[in-house]
């Protein structure tokens, strides 16, 4: 039996459906926060985009965006980059080669699955220390040391806590690094099969309903979950 004082949650496909969190889910997050636990949001979204769709971001103690590359503090609206952004000539080269719908954040460069081979070739051609992390059909290009686990660890360090103190929940392949580094990793019922196969606990509910289910377990058991 392990007590978890921290919940780390993914956003899209986990807490949110099509970018929106329903009122029942927000109410559960409020109850968890009122219990004295810390809550960290860990998402692949860019910060400006997230701020536009997540009106209750202040419920989170810390927010990790760009799949681990940027730490945001809702209390004072400050942010810290956790890695250097890929050079401009990398993005310019991708565009010259026909890679479209590129999004560039503080650090992250995002594109889509049909362009994977071109992106891989460009990284090799330019000799860059970058990797591609898949998120269903999306591709996130980041420095090799950056993922949701590294970003969460940076957030937990700031809170004076550790991954062992944390139960995390997600749905997609880019969540696996976070789920596997924590004391307990949980998949919501709608998670990809490969994710559900690699965690010890899968909720009965999908998306926000699954997070509510997990929060109720934490509240009912005083933050203690029997991890297998």
180-222 pLDDT, tens digit per residue, is 999 999 999 999 999 999 999 999 999 999 999 999 999 987 6
- Considering the domain architecture, whether residues 71 and 154 belong to the same structural domain is answered as yes
Rounded Cα distance, 91 and 96, in Å = 9
- Domain tally for the chain? 2
- Considering the domain architecture, whether residues 100 and 213 belong to the same structural domain is answered as no
pLDDT at residue number 228: 47
- Considering the domain architecture, whether residues 21 and 95 belong to the same structural domain is answered as no
- Considering the domain architecture, whether residues 38 and 150 belong to the same structural domain is answered as yes
Rounded Cα distance, 26 and 134, in Å = 28
For position 106, which CATH number holds? Answer: 3.90.1070
Q: Is the pTM of this model over 0.75?
A: yes
pLDDT string in tens for the chain (228-residue length): 568 999 999 999 999 999 999 999 999 999 999 999 999 999 999 999 999 999 999 999 999 999 999 999 999 999 999 999 999 999 999 999 999 999 999 999 999 999 999 999 999 999 999 999 999 999 999 999 999 999 999 999 999 999 999 999 999 999 999 999 999 999 999 999 999 999 999 999 999 999 999 999 999 876 666 654
For position 60, which CATH number holds? Answer: 3.40.50.1000
What is the domain range of residue 125? 88-143
- Considering the domain architecture, whether residues 14 and 120 belong to the same structural domain is answered as no
Rounded Cα distance, 138 and 109, in Å = 11
- Considering the domain architecture, whether residues 175 and 213 belong to the same structural domain is answered as yes
The helix/strand/coil state of 50 is: helix
């Amino acid at each position: 039996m392990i007590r978890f004082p921290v919940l780390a949650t993914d956003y899209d496909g986990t807490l949110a459906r099509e970018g929106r969190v329903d009122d029942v889910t927000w109410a559960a997050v409020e109850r968890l926060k009122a219990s004295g636990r810390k809550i960290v949001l860990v998402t692949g979204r860019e910060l400006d985009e997230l701020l536009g769709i997540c009106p209750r971001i202040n419920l989170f103690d810390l927010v990790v965006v760009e799949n681990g590359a940027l730490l945001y503090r809702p209390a004072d609206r400050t942010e810290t980059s956790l890695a250097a952004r890929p050079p401009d000539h990398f993005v310019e080269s991708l565009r010259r080669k026909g890679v479209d719908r590129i999004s560039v954040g503080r650090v992250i460069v995002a594109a889509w699955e049909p362009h994977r081979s071109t992106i891989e070739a460009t990284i090799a051609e330019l000799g860059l220390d970058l990797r591609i992390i898949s998120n269903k059909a999306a591709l996130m290009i980041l420095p090799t040391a950056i993922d949701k686990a590294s970003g969460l660890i940076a957030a937990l360090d700031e809170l004076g806590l550790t991954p062992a103190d944390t139960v995390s929940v997600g749905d997609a392949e880019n969540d696996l690094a976070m789920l596997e580094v924590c004391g307990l990793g949980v998949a919501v019922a709608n998670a990809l099969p490969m994710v559900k196969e690699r965690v010890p606990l899968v909720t009965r509910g999908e998306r926000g309903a699954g997070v509510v289910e997990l929060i109720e377990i934490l509240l009912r058991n005083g933050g203690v979950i029997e991890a297998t």
